[in-house]
Amino acid sequence: MMVGARKKTSELLEAHRSASGLGHAIDVFLITLILANVVVIVLETVPSISTHYRQALVYFEVFSVAIFTIEYVLRLWSCVEEPVKGLGGTTWTRKRWALSPLGVIDLLAILPFYVFLFIPDSEMSLLLLRVFRGLRLLRVFKLGRYSAALNILFAVLKREARVLAVTTLILSAVLLLASWGIYILEKNIQPDSFGSVPAAMWWAVITLTTVGYGDVIPVTDGGRMFAGLISLIGIGMAALPAGILASGFSTEIHRRTNTFERAVNLSLADGIMSQHEALELETLREELGISKEEASNVIQDAERKLHPPDHCPHCGKNL
């Protein structure tokens, strides 16, 4: 009985998995609550609103945290029913889910509230309070569970994490060299703006990113020549992570399409597609974030390969 309840809970909480009205209602309720939280967190920074509606905002925060806490506990309890993650024992599965990106986001969505309860009153506690209040905005990433686009983004970031780490290291090295170079060239002329390498980093950042606010600029001939060189380098450096992410998106979408194609071929292995198999394919399509048009094209191509036409669709001649 416990296993049955756990499986039902997993199906209801997993977006798009449950075809029941209750599962859909839970999805809509949680999405609405997440969006409402983001709006409230932004509005409470307005002094007039935070003062006038202080009590209502507190009640809403307590209600939201209670719901998100129940959701987190239920997901942690029922995650062992996942078809793939269930391998390796319940403890291992729950640990893996808790350390997954969505599991960490779910925890960070409620953690600030409980941290507030144990922070004593002091100047440091006020600073920590502001930091943890800002962390509540991470609740918006809970929408990743319901958005195929965000799921693809998370998958790409996870797949390309090592390459992006190397790119970040290169960008950091270029930033340091640019700061050091402009410091050497401009420190004697503009000690206020370029009097140290850390001070020069502001100029290096806005130049490498090709923003160029113009609030700090080199005035020596050598400094201007160096600034031009750094600007040109910045154009190429800014394209590095963009190119990596674009390639990662293309690879991820291709991988998901291949996954759907394999599922379609498996469903048509016996020559026909049952209603149950069609429903499973529709669920998989939503999970993978594939459009209905693209899924229909994949299914039609698979059916044509399984049952090739005996006449030309254009001229009508027998093949």
Domain range 2-146, its CATH number among 1.10.4080.10, 2.40.37.10, 2.120.10.90, 1.20.120.350: 1.20.120.350
Q: Where in the chain is the domain with CATH 1.10.287.70?
A: 162-306
pTM (2 d.p.): 0.64
By C-alpha distance, which of 26, 30, 10 is closest to 94? 10
By C-alpha distance, which of 138, 143, 66 is closest to 109? 138
By C-alpha distance, which of 27, 25, 278, 38 is closest to 137? 38
pLDDT range class, residue 179, cuts 50, 70, 90:
very high
- Percent of the chain scoring above 70 in pLDDT: 86
User: Distance between terminal CA atoms of the chain?
Assistant: 58
pLDDT range class, residue 184, cuts 50, 70, 90:
very high
Determine the CATH number of domain 162-306.
1.10.287.70
- pLDDT tens-place string over residues 208-252: 887 878 788 898 999 899 999 998 888 888 788 888 888 888 888
Taking the CB of residue 107, how many other CB atoms lie within 10 A of it? 16
Q: Who has greater pLDDT, 191 or 4?
A: 191
- pLDDT tens-place string over residues 109-165: 888 788 777 766 555 555 666 666 677 777 887 877 777 777 788 788 888 888 888
Rounded Cα–Cα distance for residues 105 and 102 (Å)? 5
Q: Mean of the pLDDT values across residues 287-306?
A: 83
For the chain, give the mean pLDDT: 82
pLDDT range class, residue 85, cuts 50, 70, 90:
very low
Q: Where in the chain is the domain with CATH 1.20.120.350?
A: 2-146
Q: Who has greater pLDDT, 129 or 305?
A: 305
Please list, in sequence order, all residues whose beta carbon lies within 8 angstroms of the beta carbon of residue 236, skipping any fewer than 6 positions away. none
The pLDDT value recorded for residue 130 is 66
